Each structure stands twice: as C-alpha cells, then as structure tokens.
Amino acid sequence: MKSYLIIILIISPFLVKAQSTAKDTTALLAPVTVKGFETNRKLFETPASVNLINEKEIQRLNGTSLVAVVNTVPGVRMEERSPGSYRLSIRGSLLRSPFGIRNIKVYLDDLPFTDAGGNTYLNLIDPAALNNAEILKGPASNLYGAGTGGAVILNTQTATGFKTAAHNNMQLQLQGGSYGLLAQNFKWAHQNSKHSFVAAQSHLQSDGYRDNSRLRKDVLHFSSAHVLSKNDVLKAHLLLADLYYKTPGGLTFAQWQANPKQARPATPALPGAVQQKAAIYNKTIFAGLSNTLQLSKKWSNVSSAVFSYTDFKNPFITNYEKRNEASRGIRTKMIYDAVNTNSTAVKFIAGAEWQTTFANINNYGNRAGVADTVQSKDEVNAFQRFYFLQADVAINKKLFINAGASINQFTYRYVRTTDNPVKPEKTKNFTAVVSPRIAATYSITKNIAVRVIVSKGFSAPTIAEVRPSEGSFFESLQPEYGWNYEAGVRGGFLQNRLQYDINAYQFNLNNAIVRRTTNTGAEYFVNAGGTVQKGMELLLSYQLLEQKERFISNLKLGTSITLNNYRFKNYKVTTTDYSGNRVTGVPQNIIVNTVDVTIKTKLFLSAVYNYTNKLPLTDANSFYAGDYHLLQCKAVYKIIFKKLLLDVFAGADNIFNEQYSLGNDINAVGNRFYNAAPLRNYFGGLKIEL
C-alpha cells in the first residue's frame, strides 16, 4: 500500500504542472453529478471512488447485457458463464460467488434491490430501462449496509424535470444475431406538469454458444413520478420478470480443448447437464414506492418501501431445488442541508433500513429434469437491520469531508419441516457490527483533487451460504469484515480534454467466507482466514476531436487499467495452508481500451478492447485460466425523418475469435473449471424513436 501511495504522490505534481500550462476553460466534469453516499455533488468534488456509466455507454455495444460496459470500469469484473448467468465483483474475489451476486448492495433508485438474505437478481434488469449506473468501490457499509465489495445504484429513466405541456416519447428496438439471438424492447415515456412515467417491455432469447445454454427472458418494468404538492414527490416501481436459462456446467481443460461447445458430460457416477435438463427458472415481481418530502428549507425526508416475491426452480446435476422467496423492506432518511455560512456548507443524514426475507427451500432428487423424491424441506427467515448517521461538510469549496457510521444487525431463523418429529426452530443472531467511514477530497486547483478514504466493511453470510445446496444449516458461519485504506487523485489537463482518475487501496479482509464442494459437487461454505487485497486503478479519457463541421466530428479515447495483488493471509482449509497464494479467481492485470468516433454527426463507431491476465482457478494456485484479448465493436447510422429518428446498427463480438472462459468455476470438483464463451459472433438491428 505504501508503494501505491508514493506513486500517487509522485504523479500529482506532474499533473499539477501539466495543468498549469493549459488554459483552464472548463470546470472538470461539471455536468456530472453523483448520488452515491448521498452527497449529490459533482464527481470532481465527491470523496469516494465512484464510476458512472451513462445511458450512451450502456448502449455502446449490443445493449442486451451489462457485461462489456461494466468491465470498462477499473476494479470491477462482471462475468457471464452462459447467457443469463452473471457474476459481479467489485475489488474482490469470487471465493463466495459460485453464481449470482453477493457481497455487493444494489439499489434501484432509492429502493433496496438486494434482499435481506444478501441475494441480488441483477439478471432481471433490462439495460434499456436504465438511465445510468453508479458503481461505488470499496466498503460502503456506513450508508448501504452489509457488503465489503461496494454498492451499485441503478438509476432508471423516470423523468423528474416535469414539463408544462404534455410530452411523449416512444422507442422500439429490434435486434438479431449469431446463436439465435433475438431481442426486442419497447419503451413509452410520458411527461406533464404533474406526472411522468416510463413503461418498458422487453423480450430476449438466445440458443447460446454451448449445448444446454438456451436463454429466454421477458420483462415488464414500469416506473413513475407524481407531484403530490410542490414539496412532495412520490415515485413508484413495478418489475415483472420471467427468466429461464439452461446451465451447461463446467468442463475440464481436456474437454474444453476437445469441444468447448459441449455441456458437462456424464461420468460413471453422475449424469450430465443435458440428461438432467440443468436450468434456472425465475419468476419475480418487485414493487416499490419512494416518497421525497421537503419539510422546510433545510429539512427533508426520503422514505421507501419495497416488496418482492420470487418463484425459483433449479434442476441441477445432483438435485432439484425449488424456492419461494418473499421479501419486504423499508428505508428512511432524514436530511438536514444547511445554507452556506462563511463558505461552509453542512449536511447531516440519519436513517435506517429494515428488511426481511422468508424463504421456503425444498430439495428433491432430479430425475431427468423432474422433481423426484423429497430430500429436505426448510424454512429460513433472514432479518437485516441497520441504522446510519453521516455528516457531509464543504469548506471554502476546496475541502469536502464525508464521515459516517452504521450499526448492522443480522438474524437467521431456520427449521427443517421434514424432520420427524420437527425440531425446534434454530435462531442465529450475529453480533451487531459498527461500520465507520471517513473520506476527504481536497481541490489542489480548480481541476485537480486528491482524496483519502478509510472505511470498515462488514458482510454477513447470505441465505445461500448458511443453507447451501449441500442441505445443512451452517449456524457456525461468521460474517466477513475488514478495513480499507485508499488514496486517489482525480483531475484533467490539456484544457480538460484529458481527464484521469487514479486510485490505490489496501483492503484487509478477515473471516473470509469460502466456497467448498462435496465429492458429488454440492456446495457449502466455511470461514477460512483472510486476504490482503492491494490494488491500483487508473481511468483515462481523452477527447481528441470535437468539431461538428469536420468529417470526423468527434473522437474520444479511453483507457481503464486494473492492477491487483491479492494474497491469502492465515488461510487454511482443514490441514492445508494457502497463506501467501494468489486469491482464487482474480487476474493481476486488466487493461480495457475504448474508442468512440462520430463521422459527420450521423455515423457512430465504438470499439472496446479488453486484455485480461491469467487467473488462478484453485486456492492452491495449481490451475490457471489463460489470459485473453477480446475485441468488440458497433456501428450506428442515424437517419432523421421529421420527428422520427431511425438508428440502424450492426456489431461484432470476440473479433479475434479467442477461445476463452468468461466465468470460471473456481475450486471445482473434478477440475471442471471452464465455461467457454462464444467465438466470433455478430449482431444487428434497428431502433425507431418518436
């Protein structure tokens, strides 16, 4: 960590010098405001490591998945083992994430989208419904509860700037491509002086590259805002999703080399993925209300309530799991925003969040995709409560301090209803944890700011970890926790055409929750020591050209560099000590370059190049996934007919035709690590907007 801080201190004076040689014509990132940590400040002023992905970037490539665009953010890695099966990590490993998203808190506008059990069905969100996404890197427990990785805030396209005259906007997009890709979405946005709403419908299907990897997803998403009075705005969300995708399973290296398209084959002991019709079925309803009330010039309140219900089925190689999950939650915060006094502005936030999830988890035998004999039936209740307090102080428009803390409480209640007789309910109360965070940004010049952050992260085991597919209730499993130290510099020079964000951090994780598997492949989780995670992140953006009258009217280059040095510390599994080994599933180096070109203001070209270094597949570092070079591109031609705008687009993925695995099964039984990603493939379509 010290070496990283020295690098930042060495770089900063040169950046200051370079800045002084250029005309200071524009305030850095002036239009960009972030909501993270409730600061609502310009990105330049925000004392946090935060990256914003805007709507244009979300649609930079094929637009049906967030994977490629999220992977342009340094320190963040999103994987797709097969169409619809996502994993996401922020500055962290995938030790506890065999699938899905854990250890990260996700919000949809002001609504908690992650349930009380720590699970997030991010694959239900249609990217076309998003206006932007904020990724907060590093522990954010002080304001967002459990999670050592960070938080993600998804902001939808619900209009908030109400117009006097009624205004409507409609979009229809159709897209097709390789491997049976077919995507369609329709969106209707309405706005008047009192109300606004966005109604979106989408359908996505794909045969997939591999055997047994078909995907079908249908989503209805309605979001609205209503002016109840000049000081009172009510927002509503309704999400209906029906998701189905097959799971091909991991391959050994030999199988992957021989035929990467095959699904996990049968063995003498176990049937294969095709025979067992391995798949995920997810039907979810998510509903929420959020109310923003301006009580006075200085005082305001934002309160929200959410409800969700999920019908989840998973025929797997060794069993057939059926889950019904019902979740509800409330979040409220009181905000005191003082008027500037003697160049000092003060903002206080106090609030609480309560969530509960009830899960009915039933396991059966799997007889060729049909639920067979009952193995176990369990009821698990998860209760999450945390209370937070934060102060945000701005001094002389140069020094911005953000400090806060939360107290987190978790409870699990468990009963196995198939026991005869039924045993008394087990209750697991985790000790309340206080998670503080203090951060400061200081503006050296108008366009250069340095920041320091110290924070504590806390992450309780999820429902899928205390009650995994192995079938037992692991009441001895303890939360992860750790301290994070980081420093960074954000700024711009060359008349602000070149902008940069550099960050270095060290996160010391204790009580690491680690996935293990039985001989049959059923998973369970244990605490196994800790990790020391050191990293550097660099984000560069260079506006090379921006002149409408030229043939090339816009040319923008971007670079994202992630350097990871993650090591196990005091890390043992049974009698084996892995201390000093590289953390499983984490590449040491990732470089992503982006190019965006506009020709005659009508033709838009985008390309993304991703180099990912090799990564260890086992805790022993005995197997590695090789590095890969991934090139993706898209071209859009815009045609205007009076009030109608037509976009015709086409693109390609994996242009180098690399054979690689985007989403490895780490520590897999039988060395079945590899999930082959598609070879070179194409897509194209059109979008009509009125």
Task: Give yes or no for a contact between 43 and 52, defined as CB atoms under 8 angstroms apart.
Answer: yes
Structural contact between residues 386 and 409, judged by C-beta atoms closer than 8 angstroms: yes
By the 8 A CB rule, do 37 and 48 touch? yes
- pLDDT the model gives residue 512: 85
Residue pointed to by tokens 């997939």: 208
Predicted confidence band of residue 601 (pLDDT cuts 50, 70, 90): confident
Q: For residue 604, what are its two tokens?
A: 């838009």
Which pLDDT band holds residue 8 (cuts at 50, 70, 90)? very low
Higher pLDDT pick, 403 / 37? 403
pLDDT at position 303 is 97
Instruction: Report H helices in 243-401.
Output: 253-258
The residue type at 273: A
User: Residue 251 carries which DSSP code?
Assistant: B
Mean pLDDT of 201-223: 96
Omega prior to 616 cis, within 30 of 0: no
Going by C-alpha positions, the residue among 559, 564, 561 that lies closest to residue 594 is: 559
How many CB atoms are located within 10 Å of the residue 295 CB?
A: 13
d(CA 211, CA 113): 32
pLDDT attached to residue 7: 39
CA–CA gap between residue 91 and residue 535 (Å, rounded): 8
Pairing of strands 150-156, 104-108: parallel
- CA 135 and chain centroid, separation: 7
Percent of the chain with pLDDT over 70: 93
Per-residue model confidence (pLDDT) at position 9:
38
Q: Which stretch of DSSP H or E encloses residue 10? A: helix 2-20
Predicted confidence (pLDDT) at residue 10 exceeds the cutoff of 50: no
- pLDDT at residue 341, rounded to an integer: 63
Q: Which residues contact 254 (CB under 8 A, 6 or more apart)?
A: none
What per-residue confidence (pLDDT) applies to 482?
92
Of 224, 223, 106, 109, give the one whose Cα is nearest residue 155. Answer: 109
Q: What is the mean pLDDT of residues 114-121?
A: 90
Report the C-alpha gap between 77 and 135 in whole angstroms: 12
Whole-number mean pLDDT of the chain?
A: 89
CB 94 within 8 A of CB 152: no
Q: What is the pLDDT of residue 129?
A: 87
DSSP track, 57-87: HHTSS-SS-SHHHHTTSTTEEEEEEETTEEE
Q: Which of 164-178, 489-503, 520-534 has the lowest mean pLDDT?
A: 520-534
Name the residue with higher pLDDT: 13 or 636: 636
Judged by average pLDDT, the poorest of 85-89, 416-420, 518-522, 677-681 is: 518-522
User: How is residue 522 written in tokens?
Assistant: 């059923």
Q: What is the mean pLDDT of residues 571-592?
A: 90
pLDDT, one tens digit per residue, over 290-347 is 999 999 999 999 999 999 999 999 999 989 999 999 999 999 999 999 866 667 889 9
The answer to whether residue 26 scores a pLDDT higher than 50 is no
pLDDT at 543: 92
Q: In angstroms, rounded to a whole number, what is the distance separating the alpha carbons of residues 488 and 470?
A: 43
CA distances from 366 to 375, 464, 524 (A): 10, 19, 19
Positions of E strands within 368-479: 370-395, 399-416, 426-445, 448-459
The answer, yes or no, to whether residue 14 has pLDDT greater than 60, is no
Distance CA 53, CA 132 (A): 5
Residue 519 and residue 207: Cα distance in Å, rounded?
31
Distance CA 94, CA 666 (A): 8
**DSSP states along 299-335:** EEEEEEEEEEEEEEEEE-SS-EEEEEEEEEEEEEEEE
The pLDDT of 614-630, averaged and rounded, is 94
Q: Cα(361)–Cα(355) distance, rounded to whole angstroms?
A: 19
Name the pLDDT band for 12 (thresholds 50, 70, 90).
very low
- Measured between alpha carbons, how far is 633 from 631 in angstroms, rounded to an integer? 7
In the prediction, which pLDDT does 162 show? 58
Checking if the pLDDT of 650 tops 80, the result is yes
Which tens digit of pLDDT belongs to each residue from 351-363?
999 999 999 999 9
Q: What are phi and psi of 20, to 5 degrees?
A: -70, -20
Nearest-10 Cα torsion for 518, 520, 521, 525: -20
Please tell me the predicted confidence (pLDDT) of residue 19.
Answer: 43
pLDDT above 90 for 21: no
Enumerate domains of the chain plus CATH numbers: 2-538 (2.40.170.20)
